[in-house]
A and B are shown apart, each in its own frame.
Chain A
Amino acid sequence: MDKQELDERRSAKLSSDKQKSDKPRLINKERIMRGVFFAAALASILAVALICIFLFAQGIPPLAEIGVFEFLSSDRWRPTASEPSFGILPMILGSIYVTGGAILLGVPIGILTAIFMAKMCPRQIYRFVKPAISLMAGIPSVIFGFFGMMVLVPAIFELFGKRFDMMSGNSMLAASILLGIMILPTVISIAETNIRAVPQELYEGAIALGAGHERAVFKVIVPAARSGVMAAIVLGIGRAIGETMAVRMVAGNQPVLRLPYEFFTGVRTLTSNIILEMGYVERGSLHFGALVATGVVLFVFILIINLLFSILNQDKEYNSVKKNKKGAKSQ
C-alpha cells in the first residue's frame, strides 16, 4: 500500500519535473519525503496495534476462564499443580513494592544529581559525569542482573541474613537497590534536560531579588521545572516496573503474598512471572493463557503510567507544537 503510494508520488514527480522549473520540484521531493515519514510513523503505530491485538486476543479468553476477580485477587499461583490455581495478586504487589523501593532509592539520588549537573557542576567534573551516566544507560540489564547476583545478593545475605532469618540474599531489598541504580540514567537525563530548559530569566530575576545561587536553584528553578521532574520520575517508574532480566536474577521469585515491610523476603514481579515460566509452558494451555493475561495486566499498568506521563507533559507538548506552527508560518 505504502509502496504504491510512493510510486504514485514518484510518477507525479517525474511528470511535474518535465513541465515545471526548480521550485515545484522541491515541493514534490518534500511530498515524497513526507510520504516516507508518514509510512515510518504508520509502521510503529502498526506494531503497537498488533501487539495490543495479540495481547488481548490471547489474554482475554483465559482471563475469562479463570475469572478476572479470581485472577487479580487470589494469592495462590500453582500453575502446574493437579488442581491448578492462577492468582497474580502477589506478583502485582511484588511489582509495586520493588518499583516503590527503586523510586525511594533512585529518585532522590537521581534528582539531586540532575540539579547538581545542570546548575552546580564545574565543567571539569561534568566532562566525566555526563559520559558516565550515558554509559550507565547503555549497560544491558543482564549485566546489572549479574552484578546483583554476584555482589548485591551475597552482600545482603552476609549483612542481614542472620538477623532477619533470610533464606537467601535474593530479596525485595536486592531488587529495589538494583532497580534504583538502573533507573538513575533515565531520571537524571530527563530531569537535567528539564531543569536546563527553565528560562534563564527566572534565575536572573531571583538573583536580582537578592537570592543566592543555591536559593535561586532550589526555590525558583527546580519548582519551575516541576512537571519535567515529575515526568522523569514517572518514566523511572515505567522503567522499573518493566524491567525483567535483572529483577528475575535477584528477587527470589517466590509467588507469595508479602507486606511492604517484609523487604528481606523474596518477591516475584509481573515481568519475572512471565519470563520464568515461558520457557517450558505448553502453547495453548491455560497456564500459557495465564502468562499472557499477566502480560495484559502489565500492559494496563504501563498504559496508566504513560497516561500519567502525557498528562504531566501535556502543557509543554502543546506549547512546542504551537511554537513550531508559528515558526513554519513565519518562514
Chain B
Amino acid sequence: MKKLLALIIIAALMTVAIAACGDSGTEPSGGDTTPVTTPSGGGNDSTPANGGGTDPTPQQTDAFDADRIIGVYTREDGSGTRGAFVDITGVGDDMYVEAVVLTATAEIRTNVAENLYGIGYVSLGSLNDTVKALDIGGIKASTETVLDGTYPISRPFIIMTNDENDGDELVQDFINFALSATGQEMSSTSWISPIDGAPEYQASGLSGTLKIGGSTSVDPLMQLLAAEYKALNSDVNIEISGGGSGVGISEAIDGIVNIGMSSRELRDSEKPDLNEYVIALDGVAVIVNKDNPVDGMDMETVKNIFIGEMTKWSEIIG
C-alpha cells in the first residue's frame, strides 16, 4: 500500500512540474501575440513571434490592469548605469527600497520583458526590441536625440588631464587617437560618437607608459581604445585602473594618473584644473514591457516612480 502511495505522490509531483513548465511555455508567447505600435520599436515588432500560439489567456493591451503595482527594477548600488540614472533624474539617494535589485543589464531587460507591469532602465546602447523604451518629456530615446542634446537622460564619457599632463607628447597623442576616426569608431560600437567627421590618426611611434583611471562606466570603451592604440604604437604601455568618476577626476587633478575618466559632467569647481575631452555619449533608456500602453512620461514621473511616490500604473495613465 505504501509503495502505491509513494508512487502516487511522485506522479503528483511530476504533474505539478509539468504543469509549471506548461505555464512558463505559454507565458512569454503571450507577450508576442498582440503587438503594440511603439514609436521607438523601429516598426519590426508587428510580426508575432513563432510558436506557442495556444495561449489560454492572451495578455492584450486592453487586459492591462492599471490598478496593478508598478514593478520597479533597478541596478545595484555602485553600478555606473544606476549612478547616471539617479544623478540625471534626481532620484539621488532616495531609490525606492521596494525596487527589485538586479546586477546586469540583461537581467533587467529579461525581467521587464517578462513582467507586463515592469519598468527599469538600461544603457541606451544595450536596448533591444524585447522591451519598449519610453519617450521622456516627449523626446524619443535614440542616438539622434542624445546627440542633439534633447534627450534628457544622457551623459558624456569624458577623459581629462591636468595642465602638466596635457602638455605631454604621449598623452596628447593618445587623446588625438581617441578623438580620431579610428577612436570614434570604437565609441560607436556600444555608445554614441559625438564627433562628426573625425580626422584620421597616424601612428606616432612614441614610447612610454600611460596611466589611465576613473569611471568604471568608461572602462569598457577605454579597454577597446587602449588595445587598438597599443596595436598601432607597440612601445606604449597602458595601465587602466577603476575607482569611479570621482576618483578619476581627483586623480587627474593631482596627476596620479595621466588621464582621468569620468561618466558625469565636470562640476564648475573641477573645471579650472582640467582639460576635458568628450570621447563618447551614453544615454539611459527607461524601459517597460512591450505590451504596456504607456509610451512616454516626463522626467518628474520617472523620478516619482523610482523614489516610490507613484506605485500604481493608474496614477500615470489616469
Q: Which residues of A does B touch, CB under 8 Å? A: 78-83, 109, 112, 116, 120, 122, 149-155, 157-158, 161-162, 165-170, 213-214, 248-249, 252-256, 265-266, 268, 275-277, 279-282, 287
Contacts and interface: CB of A to CB of B under 8 A. Distances in A.
A280 B27 contact: no
Q: Which of B70, B73, B110, B111 has the most CB of A within 10 A?
A: B111
Interface residues of B, number: 44
Interface string B1-20: 11100100100010000001
Interface string B86-111: 00000011000111111100010011
B194 interface: no
A266 B100 contact: yes
A166 to B, nearest CB: 7
Nearest to A215: B2
Contacts of A282: 243-244, 247
Nearest to A248: B103
Contact of A253 (B92, B100, B115, B117): B100
A277 B23 contact: no
Contacts of B107: 149, 249
| 5 residue pairs, one from A and one from B, having the closest CB atoms | A280-B78, A253-B101, A81-B93, A151-B24, A168-B71
Nearest to B80: A280
Q: Which of A80, A150, A153 has the most CB of B within 10 A?
A: A80
A153 B76 contact: no
22 contacts: A79-B77, A79-B78, A80-B77, A80-B93, A112-B9, A120-B2, A120-B3, A122-B3, A150-B24, A152-B20, A154-B115, A157-B115, A162-B65, A167-B70, A213-B2, A256-B97, A265-B98, A266-B98, A266-B100, A276-B103, A279-B79, A282-B247
A151 B21 contact: yes
Contacts of A170: 100, 111
Contact of B103 (A79, A116, A169, A279): A279
B114 interface: yes
Contacts of A81: 93
